[in-house]
Amino acid sequence: MKLRTLTLGLLSASALAFAAHAESITIATVNNGDMVRMQKLTDDFTKANPDIQLNWVTLEENVLRERVTTDIATKGGQYDVMTIGTYEVPIWAKQSWLLPLDKLGDDYDVKDIIPAIAGGLSVDGKLYAAPFYGESSFVMYRKDLMEKAGLKMPDAPTWEFIKQAADKMTDRANGVNGVCLRGKAGWGENMAFLTAMSNSFGARWFDENWKPQFDQPEWKKTLQFYVDLMKADGPEGASSNGFNENLALFQQGKCGMWIDATVAASFVSDPKASKVADKVGYALAPDTGLGKRGNWLWAWSLAVPAGTKKADAAEKFVSWATSKHYAELVASKEGWANVPPGTRSSLYANADYQKAAPFAKMTLDSINAADPTHPTVKPVPYVGVQFVAIPEFQGLGTTVGQLFSAALAGQSSVDDALKQAQDAATAAMTEGGYIK
Amino acid sequence: MARAVTTQHKTIATAAAWIVALLIFFPILYTIITSFKSEQEAIQGFALIPSGTMESYAEVQAQSGYFKFFLNSVILSVGSTLLAILIAVPAAWSMAFSPTKRTKDILMWMLSTKMMPAVAVLFPIYLIFRDSGLLDSRIGLTVMLMLINLPIVVWMLYTYFREIPGEILEAARMDGASLWNEIIYVLTPMAVPGIASTMLLNIILAWNEAFWTIRLTTTNAAPLTAFISSFSSPQGLFWAKLSAASTLAIAPILIMGWFSQKQLVRGLTFGAVK
């Protein structure tokens, strides 16, 4: 009897699974504050579009990347809208895996999208993903400690100044580290920071012929500077610190400066979470006077995969979620400070937003200071500021990240790490057919 | 004197057992502790006493419907286990009571399918599921979970059946029992502890399976593993929320394991104590 009941239950449940398909679009996304907020506000969309039902799939970033890649490469058609980053968009668009977004509606105002962001999401002038929120990186610093050190942070500091300030601010007896930087290995962790930093030192991953450049003096200068700075003024165990670890350190008052994503500004200035909320100042990412700054550019964006059977409904949703109307909706429900940042110029011209977000101007200036199509001092054959938009980069970036993280931890020398990085990159490029 | 030594040995053995048990259980315990911390507390460093806040549970509840994922976990784990037992009982019966010279090889071949990493067959399986419309369906995933656990189920049942004297089955045959009657009325009742513990273990394995359940589902068939995965965030603090989601996800299976531990231990140590 029990067995029969269970079997019946199983069969009816399975039947239900098949019945639930009708007019719905499935959206794959990552779990972060802005995305969660959007899920709560979708009534506004479904009221205007009663024939479209929304299904959400929230996944961990790496799992999401793997799932959507599998789905899109096999044209599985499981997702109608995907949340992807500026790394994927140029690669996938070139593979014809994404549909160009040309039906976003008359009042969408594509030109309002910040040019640097739009450039990273376009291929041959066509927009393949609409930015949901964008970010760059900048310096967050403790105004009180800076004053105590007798220094004044310029709006656009140099790396030399950062080193000088870090030396003066470091007070290990009281648990204060002059500077906190990413050290955890990963193409999106330490390599996002180090690749952007290397741009400001005149380094590049590859020359015009895809020859790896880790054997060049610019990379040596970058890595040596980073390792020396962190050894003298960084926190203990820095080689395992990523965004979240450094965020916690800064919020607890243990960092004089932190160079990381602009989106962190809303966390460090939140008095509920941060002990130093009223003492934080912002400045552009440092440079060395070569014309490029050490800041990156990233946008979590919504794209429509070529395998979808509901392209119109999907694009309607993308248009709604990335529109000016959506920004106003968030502002009316949760205040201007919670509007997804970094995508539209009009947001930064809005007086209410400027008042609610004191870091707004510096965020916009940082985004504008990054150029994904010309990221380096010397010419390169790739797109991307803190990454190289080729499929091989995820694996190679993480391998190099591990080598550099080991150098930071003192397990290998800077020279050894660079030599091994050069070998790994040469092998990957040879295997990929870029060089012979 | 001898008595003193025995008591001392007993104390040492008990202490050692407690230490080992605590070590094994500690990650789960710490997950539960972390779930009662605020996000700031969670990341601040090692601490065994939480502030006792329930905010992570409230947020987890508000963010996604736990019950839908829970229901899928129940359906998938119980369904795949029943299906596996249906197939494995006759298979193990034939290998235990009518062995041929190739039986051992077949058993080893079955087990060898577990020796390959799952990701190696991700694409073929994904394409089969796509072409047969089984992506994100409970039926497809039930079959998948049944298949991946089937070798273990067959092996366990085979071991239990081997312990049952063949003469009893012969006697049943002499009394005119058909093959079906022999399996249902003679073999099964004697093997109930073994079958029960196999089922329990299989339910636990299916409940915790996180490779296929995350990769072959989106919304309709997604079980609790997908629920947990959704709380890892690329930006912002999430350890407490993730711990709360994990605690909610493992609680049912932990409670079930607690209540059935006698059966489970008996079944798992069946061969050893004989």
Mean pLDDT, residues B111-135: 89
Q: Give the Cα separation of B124 and B116 in Å (integer).
A: 14
pLDDT in tens, B64-85: 788 899 999 999 999 999 999 9
Nearest-by-Cβ selection for A60 from B43, B71, B232 = B232
Question: By mean pLDDT, which of B55-59, B147-151, B154-158 is the weakest?
Answer: B55-59
| Residue B160 Cα to chain centre, angstroms | 18
**pLDDT class of B188 with cuts at 50, 70, 90:** confident
Q: Give the Cα separation of B152 and B145 in Å (integer).
A: 12
Cβ-defined contact of B126 to A33 (cutoff 8 Å): no
Is B5's pLDDT higher than 70? no
**pLDDT class of A288 with cuts at 50, 70, 90:** very high
Mean pLDDT, residues A92-107: 91
Mean pLDDT, residues B216-240: 83
Per-residue pLDDT, B24: 93
Q: Give the Cα separation of A396 and A388 in Å (integer).
A: 10
Question: Superfamily for B65-229?
Answer: MetI-like (1.10.3720.10)
* Cβ of residue A57 closer than 8 Å to a chain B Cβ: yes
Q: How many CB atoms lie within 10 A of CB B15?
A: 10
- Both tokens of A320, joined, read 């709604």
Q: Give the Cα separation of A279 and A144 in Å (integer).
A: 6
Specify whether the CB–CB gap between B75 and B138 falls below 8 A.
Answer: yes
Cβ-defined contact of A30 to B236 (cutoff 8 Å): no
Per-residue pLDDT, A15: 45
Is B273's pLDDT higher than 50? no
Specify whether the CB–CB gap between B41 and B50 falls below 8 A.
Answer: yes
Q: Give the Cα separation of A330 and A133 in Å (integer).
A: 13
Supply the DSSP string of B93-143, one letter for each residue. HHHHHS--TTHHHHHHHHHHGGGS-GGGGHHHHHHHHHHTT-TT-HHHHHH
Instruction: Read off the DSSP letter of residue B184.
Output: I
Is B13's pLDDT higher than 80? yes
B-chain CB neighbours of A299 within 8 Å are none
Mean pLDDT, residues A20-38: 79
Per-residue pLDDT, A212: 97
* Cβ of residue B37 closer than 8 Å to a chain A Cβ: no
Mean pLDDT, residues B87-91: 92
- Both tokens of A8, joined, read 């019946």
pLDDT in tens, A174-190: 999 999 999 999 898 89
Per-residue pLDDT, A7: 55
Please give the mean pLDDT across all residues of chain A: 90
Predicted ipTM > 0.90:
no
Q: How is chain B split into domains, by residue range? A: 65-229
Is A54's pLDDT higher than 50? yes
Q: Give the alpha-carbon dihedral of A59, A64, A67, A72, to 10 degrees.
A: 130
Is A16's pLDDT higher than 70? no
* Cβ of residue B53 closer than 8 Å to a chain A Cβ: no
Q: Give the Cα separation of B42 and B35 in Å (integer).
A: 8
Task: Please name the residues in contact with B258: beta carbons below 8 A apart, sequence gap of 6 or more.
Answer: none
Nearest-by-Cβ selection for A74 from B130, B137, B220 = B130
Strand boundaries in A254-374, DSSP class E: 255-261, 280-284, 297-303
Outline where B185-238 has alpha helix (H). 188-208, 212-215, 224-229
Is A61's pLDDT higher than 80? no
Q: Give me the amino acid identity at A45.
A: F
Task: State the nearest Cα–Cα gap between A243 and chain B, in angstroms.
Answer: 7
From the list B169, B197, B203, the residue with the least C-alpha distance to B272 is: B197
A-chain CB neighbours of B234 within 8 Å are 30-32, 61, 243
Alpha-carbon distances of A241 from A185, A248, A393, B45, rounded to whole Å: 9, 10, 21, 13
Task: State the nearest Cα–Cα gap between B108 and chain A, in angstroms.
Answer: 31
Mean pLDDT, residues B261-268: 75
Nearest-by-Cβ selection for B137 from A17, A26, A57 = A17
Nearest chain B alpha carbon to A79: B218
Per-residue pLDDT, A4: 54
Per-residue pLDDT, B274: 43
Question: By mean pLDDT, which of A218-232, B10-24, B175-189 is the weakest?
Answer: B175-189
Per-residue pLDDT, A142: 97
Per-residue pLDDT, B162: 87
Per-residue pLDDT, A1: 44
Per-residue pLDDT, B4: 58
Cβ-defined contact of B142 to A32 (cutoff 8 Å): no
Mean pLDDT, residues B31-40: 90
Per-residue pLDDT, A75: 82
B-proximal residues of A, 269-308, CB under 8 Å: 273
Mean pLDDT, residues B190-204: 88
Alpha-carbon distances of B15 from B6, B12, B20, B29, B262, rounded to whole Å: 14, 5, 9, 19, 21
Which residue carries 């089922």 as its tokens?
B199
The H-or-E segment that residue A132 falls in is strand A130-142
Task: Please name the residues in contact with B168: beta carbons below 8 A apart, sequence gap of 6 or more.
Answer: B186, B190
Is B43's pLDDT higher than 80? no
**pLDDT class of B187 with cuts at 50, 70, 90:** confident
Which of A60-74, A158-172, B5-19, B94-108 has the largest mean confidence? Answer: A158-172
Mean pLDDT, residues A275-280: 93
Nearest-by-Cβ selection for B139 from A9, A14, A78 = A14
- Which carries the bigger pLDDT value, residue B231 or residue A396? A396
For chain B, what is the total number of helices (H) and then of strands (E)? Answer: 15, 0
pLDDT in tens, A345-368: 999 999 999 998 888 989 999 999
Cβ-defined contact of B126 to A17 (cutoff 8 Å): no
Nearest-by-Cβ selection for B126 from A20, A76, A243 = A76
Is B121's pLDDT higher than 70? yes
Mean pLDDT, residues A284-309: 93
Task: State the nearest Cα–Cα gap between B99 and chain A, in angstroms.
Answer: 30
* Cβ of residue B75 closer than 8 Å to a chain A Cβ: yes
Specify whether the CB–CB gap between A155 and A283 falls below 8 A.
Answer: yes
* Cβ of residue B219 closer than 8 Å to a chain A Cβ: yes
HSE at residue B31, side-chain half, CA atoms within 13 A, is: 16
Per-residue pLDDT, A23: 75
Per-residue pLDDT, A274: 87
* Cβ of residue B214 closer than 8 Å to a chain A Cβ: yes
**pLDDT class of A18 with cuts at 50, 70, 90:** very low
Task: Please name the residues in contact with A188: beta carbons below 8 A apart, sequence gap of 6 or more.
Answer: A61, A387, A397
Task: State the nearest Cα–Cα gap between B140 and chain A, in angstroms.
Answer: 9
Mean pLDDT, residues A88-116: 92
Kindly report the pTM of this predicted structure: 0.79
Is B272's pLDDT higher than 50? no
Which of A418-422, B154-158, B222-226 has the largest mean confidence? Answer: A418-422
Task: State the nearest Cα–Cα gap between A279 and chain B, in angstroms.
Answer: 19
B-chain CB neighbours of A267 within 8 Å are 236
From the list A424, A352, A354, the residue with the least C-alpha distance to A392 is: A424
How many residues would you count in chain A?
Answer: 436
Answer left, alpha or beta for residue A82, where phi above 0 means left and psi between -120 and 50 means alpha: beta
Give which of A5, A10, A133 to mutate to test B binding, by max B Cβ within 10 Å.
A10
Per-residue pLDDT, A3: 52
- Both tokens of B245, joined, read 């989601």
From the list A231, A283, A273, the residue with the least C-alpha distance to A249 is: A273
**pLDDT class of A191 with cuts at 50, 70, 90:** very high
Domains belonging to chain A, first-starting first, are: 2-134+298-356 (3.40.190.10), 136-296+364-431 (3.40.190.10)
Per-residue pLDDT, A79: 92
Three-state secondary structure of A22-91: CCEEEEEEECCHHHHHHHHCCHHHHHHCCCCEEEEEEECHHHHHHHHHHHHHCCCCCCCEEEECCCHHHH
